A = this chain, B = another copy of it.
């Protein structure tokens, strides 16, 4: 009758470690993309919670039998979808420790170590990224661990909003304008909605394939000038280093040069690519970061830190605390009253927070910066290998230049045209119709690949093109998995290009 009986805790804890070890051992054998139908689980589980207790053995059996078939295996070595959900033994142990200690670190006094370790680790990591001193606590800036980039964007957006509204008046909220490229993550659109920014004032500036989908400072300037002319108030720019679709890189320095003339807050979202910047050879991609107001990346994407772990640095923490702090009486304490300490509740959306820093600290210590760089480089190397294979098969093309460990590719339009001309006449299709066919064939290719259950990739839709995305970075992926994956892609392409369906394409 004790829900924290120590003998049971130990026995069941070992059992869960064994379960997960077995899971990792077998994970390559599961269909990477779950093949279940909607509502499969309601049919299998009871209608209501049990009145009586059930043993862990029965629960784990149900996990194996009913849950595992319904998950897509983000940790499979054959997982190449979205961006990776990065894990490691150290990241896992850190989360265990944080969960086990049950500390709620909303302010310093609630558990000083939770706050202090976080500030230390954020300085450590800031230094490894060569962020300017102004982003470190030693330079009057500082870092915080949030759950996701959505939160980092919302917090900085609200900070920027309050800053500008304090100058122009609260009633001007409907005049505020947010800028980004059309490649920017939907997190910005969502954060702007939540923060009460008029949706028509979220300006997604068009990018082009010819400039690798980077946001053009010139386009930014002309958009701003039109807005200013219309009596609107520019206040926030979200620049991205490593966009979701193609890892495009917005030029931070030149964008800041434009933005700063209008007092615009610049946030850099480097959710995926930020971690690579601990390697000197990749640091160049965040050049100009000394000019921005805030910078974030997700350690849970490509830094071996289990979900959730988003690292956000700001130059002026008071921008965050001015807009996000509350100080109800029940939280009053001497350390906060005398402003000797950081109270992270005022750097984030929520009050409660776990002991977030443990897992990142354990990742940094368990592997060391030297190995972490090598792990990342190894993923990039595998991406280069894949890219080279794609280039050697001239039915395919690399759609945008690879920079990190994401490769965007597709069957060339000419391949499809050639194939079509064997059956129906390719020239009878008008241009728009032809683009649709090319997209449809590539979509079919992706569906064949994922339908095999052997690998999982996702797509991007950029400049009107449906493109396959191969994101390398799952912790268990080795070169042999990449080779196997490429062979599968070729097999499915062989099948598709030889398929009758293609010879009489339907656009329905």
A residues adjacent to B (C-beta < 8 A)? 1, 3-6, 8-10, 12-14, 16-21, 23-25, 34, 36, 38-42, 45, 48-54, 56, 58-59, 63, 66-72, 74-75, 82, 85, 87-90, 92-93, 95-97, 99-104, 108-114, 116-117, 119-121, 124-125, 127-128, 147-148, 150-151, 154, 158, 161-162, 170-171, 173-174, 185-187, 189-190, 193-198, 244-245, 300, 304, 306-308, 323-324, 326-332, 335, 340-341, 349-352, 354-355, 358, 362, 364-371, 374-375, 458-461, 469, 475-476
For the residues of A in contact with B, the DSSP-based class is helix
- Given A9-B89, A24-B9, A245:B330 Cβ within 8 A: yes
Contact assessment for B4 and A368 in the assembled complex, using a CB-CB cutoff below 8 Å = no
Expressed in whole angstroms, the Cα–Cα distance for A341 and B36 within the complex equals 12
Contact assessment for A52 and B93 in the assembled complex, using a CB-CB cutoff below 8 Å = no
**For the complex of A and B, 4 pairs with smallest distance between CB atoms:** A196-B196, A70-B113, A13-B17, A3-B88
- Given A97-B20, A194-B195, A370-B51, A350:B108 Cβ within 8 A: no
Contact assessment for A50 and B96 in the assembled complex, using a CB-CB cutoff below 8 Å = no
Pairs A–B under 8 Å by Cβ, sample size 8:
A3-B475, A16-B97, A71-B112, A87-B100, A150-B352, A151-B349, A170-B198, A194-B349
Expressed in whole angstroms, the Cα–Cα distance for A198 and B17 within the complex equals 50
Q: A103 touches which one: B19, B72, B367 (CB < 8 A)?
A: B72
Contact assessment for A102 and B50 in the assembled complex, using a CB-CB cutoff below 8 Å = no
Contact assessment for A50 and B368 in the assembled complex, using a CB-CB cutoff below 8 Å = yes
* A188 to B: closest C-beta gap in Å: 9
A301's closest neighbor in chain B, by CB?
B352
Contact assessment for A307 and B352 in the assembled complex, using a CB-CB cutoff below 8 Å = yes
Contact assessment for A17 and B10 in the assembled complex, using a CB-CB cutoff below 8 Å = yes
Q: A307 touches which one: B304, B354, B375 (CB < 8 A)?
A: B354
Which residues of chain B are within 8 angstroms of A162 by Cβ–Cβ distance? 193
Contact assessment for A9 and B92 in the assembled complex, using a CB-CB cutoff below 8 Å = yes
Expressed in whole angstroms, the Cα–Cα distance for A6 and B53 within the complex equals 32
Contact assessment for B148 and A362 in the assembled complex, using a CB-CB cutoff below 8 Å = no
Which residues of chain B are within 8 angstroms of A349 by Cβ–Cβ distance? 150-151, 154, 190, 194, 349
- Given A99-B306, A150-B352, A116:B42 Cβ within 8 A: yes
Expressed in whole angstroms, the Cα–Cα distance for A74 and B54 within the complex equals 27
- Given A20-B97, A53-B368, A99-B96, A326:B189 Cβ within 8 A: yes
